[in-house]
Amino acid sequence: MTPTEYIDTFQLEHPGYSNYPKDYQPYIPLNKSRFLRIVKQGVIYQELTEVIRSINEKQDWIIITEPWCGDAAQIVPYLFKMAELNPLINVEVQLRDSNSEIDSYLSHGKMSIPKLIVRNQEGADRFIWGPRPQQLEAIYLELKNKNENIDEMKTILQKWYNEDKGRGIQDEIMELIKVTR
């Protein structure tokens, strides 16, 4: 699906909405709000803008996500903004639970999202990123290993995203683009 079609999945009247697990559905309106805030206010830093604009071959950016995913609400808008900077980048969004490629891109044996797969013109993977910036992933795994309360974990992760303002993902994507040229 296209980025526009993905944004439509946040609508209560979207045909697939009722297919989401009932306990995930309440997160979708909140994630929509976060997603749209970043679309409106998020900034791609100049250095990354220059690196993305310097890409001189067609690439496919496959983003595996779901509208109920809190991490995706914080990350996918930045991926969309990055891809818009270069007409050679084609974005395809796959919903994790609807015939996606997630089984080939597990994180710690789990179907963690969002996941970015960048492919060249021949269809070979240039790099894979996700499900969250490395610094936050380390925090998440530490909290999980301590069996931290899920609500407390969500609060800690959200605070990190608020303070980071997209810098972590941008730094990591920039480095991956540079090393895979």
* Sequential pLDDT tens for the chain (181 residues): 999 999 988 887 777 777 788 888 889 999 999 999 999 999 999 999 999 999 999 999 999 999 999 999 999 999 999 999 999 999 999 999 988 999 999 998 999 999 999 999 999 999 999 999 999 999 999 999 999 999 999 999 999 999 999 999 999 999 999 999 7
46 lies in a domain? yes
Structural domain boundaries enclosing 18: 3-131+165-179
Q: How many Cα neighbours within 13 Å face the side chain of 9?
A: 26
Q: Is the overall model pTM greater than 0.85, yes or no?
A: yes
CA nearest neighbour of 35 among 97, 84, 78:
78
**Given this model, what pLDDT does residue 20 score?**
81
DSSP sequence for 67-96: TT-HHHHHHHHHHHHHHTT-TTEEEEEEET
138 lies in a domain? no
Q: Per the structure, how many domains does the chain have?
A: 1
**Given this model, what pLDDT does residue 21 score?**
80
56 lies in a domain? yes
